Amino acid sequence: MEPTPSRRLLAVADDLSGAAETAAGLASRTTRSRVVLVGTAAAPRHPGEATVLDLDSRQLSAAEAARAVSAALALSPSGDTLVLKKIDSLLRGNIAAEVAALAAGGAGVVVAPALPAAGRAVRGGVVHLGATPLHRTDAWRAEPGPPPRSVPDALGPARTALIPLTAVRASRRTLLSALRAALAEGRVAVCDAETDADLDAVVEAALADGPGTRLVGSGGLAAALGRHLAAGEPPAPARAVFEAETSAADAVWGKTPTTQTTQPAQTAQATRTTRRGAVAGVAGPGRSPGQGPADAGPPSPAPAAAGPRPLLVVVGTAEPSAAEQIRRLAADGATVVRLPARELCADAPSAPAARPLPPLGDGVTVVAPEPATAGPPPDGVTPRRLVRGLARAVAAAVARRDGAVDLVLTGGETARRVLDALGVTELHPVGQVHHGAVHLRTPDGRSVVTRPGSFGDADSLRLIVQALRPHPTQRKVRP
């Protein structure tokens, strides 16, 4: 299948940070990308548009997750719609049930969960973190059970065929023949991959016979699909027409140019906001830093209020690295508010409400649960209740603030619960601060950065804050 900018694309993810990562990977000059929180009109609306649905299904039962995928597939127009299922690169979630739903009716499925940007490869059908197999790491320490020993193991009863790295790196004809043979037997093709080039080869071969083959993978596969589609950008005259049509759409939506400061030098990404609010200088599919913007989909209005406004960082992840990330923000002058876990989880009608957050100023505020103590958690304290309590506290604080508040949300479930509490149903990608830390914009112009809890080093939150709130002495770059 030759890539074409007129094709619709439907992607589904099981949490919001994964949906955001997917949207950022798919966005290009000819692919408009948006993230939809399921429950709103979600079908791809226009040719050349990628709609990414957050099914919010990571914590559902297997049967519920399968039904959510089936319902999402029913939204896609028949014929020319590509389908991508984003899964966790650590194989968490209801992967077996969701892939079974994708394969229902005889659709071919190709699975490639490698994520080279995070050092996660698939060799011999086994996910590796660096040189260590997933099942020999502690990456599943917060999960109720052990990790699967291989990708086929994660797929449960599905009949699978391993496409080894030797086939992936062989000639295009060899890889295509291996995929066709697997799919002709009704098997799910599980592809080894270590590099972006490996994933590029998988996407090209998987889609060679048309859009009927469904792709399953991490954000690495989404980025490979984005590069594949970007390779089909129209020649200069056609692209000029595309740009003119987008300019007309901007006028209809009332889009006006905005200005953003460059990112700090230590991020190695000089950032500027263009007419469409896209980040130039952040590498995206089919382009290198500084090469041009990603089309963020239907234009979102510029923020209504000028001047500084609050930046609220909500840390709901239980990852051990979170404490050091918060400490570094505090060292930079951020206000850190720790909320007691028992108060956050006290959601019974008769229980005392969690203490409110202090009024949000124009600086940076970090809110997180108090660190867990040794031993079992107190009665009634669970990760899901903690996240819901955080969301309620954040929504109350934002409601008391007169004016817009920008957000940084770590952990997919944290991000979804907070945005649900705030009534946000659609987001448009701007770019990535670093891998997995996706900058999005709400329809009313607020910035939202989402990041999986397991991503980012000790400086991750610091870099995100510096990207959104550069030092005032830094030179501003106008479009």
DSSP string, 152-184: HHHTTT--EEEE-HHHHTS-HHHHHHHHHHHHH
> Angle 278-257-240 (CA atoms, 0-180°, nearest 5)?
65
Q: Would you place residue 13 in the very low, low, confident or very high pLDDT band (cuts 50, 70, 90)?
A: very high
Question: Binning pLDDT at 50, 70 and 90, where does residue 225 land?
Answer: very high
Dist. CA 191–CA 205, nearest whole Å: 11
Mode of pairing for the β-strands spanning 279-280 and 335-339: unpaired
CA proximity to 12, closest of 95, 87, 64: 87
Q: Grade residue 317 by pLDDT with cuts at 50, 70 and 90.
A: confident
Cα–Cα distance, 341 to 184 (Å, whole number): 53
Which one is predicted more confidently, 296 or 46?
46
pLDDT at res. 213: 95
CA atoms of 101 and 117, how far apart (whole Å): 28
- The CA distance from 397 to 401, in Å, is 7
Beta-carbon contacts of 442 under 8 Å, excluding residues fewer than 6 positions away, are 300, 424, 426, 427, 448
CB distance 442 to 406 below 8 Å? no
**Alpha helix segments (H runs only) across 211-267:** 219-230, 236-253
Q: Does pLDDT of 436 surpass 60?
A: yes
pLDDT of residue 236: 38
Encoded amino acid at 23, one letter: A
- Give residue 372's pLDDT band: very low, low, confident or very high (50, 70, 90): low
Look at residue 18 in the predicted model and tell me its pLDDT.
93
Residue 403: what pLDDT? Answer: 86
Q: Which residue has the higher pLDDT, 16 or 6?
A: 16
Q: What does the alpha-carbon distance between residue 314 and residue 336 come to, in Å, rounded to a whole number?
A: 10
pLDDT surpasses 80 at 328: yes
pLDDT digits (tens, 9 = 90+) for 246-290: 343 333 323 333 323 323 322 333 332 222 233 222 333 333 333
Closest CA to 143 of 59, 83, 221: 59
Q: 35 pairs with which residues across the strands?
A: 52, 427
At residue 390, φ and ψ (nearest 5 deg) are -60, -45
Provide the pLDDT confidence category of residue 300 given band limits of 50, 70 and 90: very low
Check the CA dihedral 238-241-247-250 and report its sign: negative
- Six-digit token string for 249: 């759409």
Supply the pLDDT for residue 232: 67
Distance separating alpha carbons of residues 415 and 40, to the nearest angstrom:
17
82-138: pLDDT as tens digits: 999 999 999 999 999 999 999 998 899 999 999 999 999 999 999 999 999 999 999
**Rounded-to-10 torsion of CA 394, 398, 400, 404:** 170
Rank 285-294, 365-374, 422-431 by mean pLDDT and report only the highest.
Answer: 422-431
- Residue 181: the pLDDT is 98
Task: Lay out the sheet containing 120-123: strands in order across.
Answer: 120-123, 126-129, 132-133
Q: How confident is the model at residue 454 (pLDDT cuts 50, 70, 90)?
A: confident
- Supply φ then ψ for residue 54, to 5 degrees: -90, 105
Q: Which helix (H) or strand (E) holds 95?
A: helix 95-103
CB 35 within 8 Å of CB 23: yes
**Nearest in space to 384 (alpha carbons), one of 36, 142, 163, 22:** 142
Handedness of CA 231, 434, 357, 316 (dihedral sign): positive
pLDDT of residue 39: 59
Question: How far apart are alpha carbons 160 and 141 in whole angstroms?
Answer: 27
* pLDDT above 90 for 244: no
CB under 8 Å to 330, separation ≥6 — which residues? 336, 366
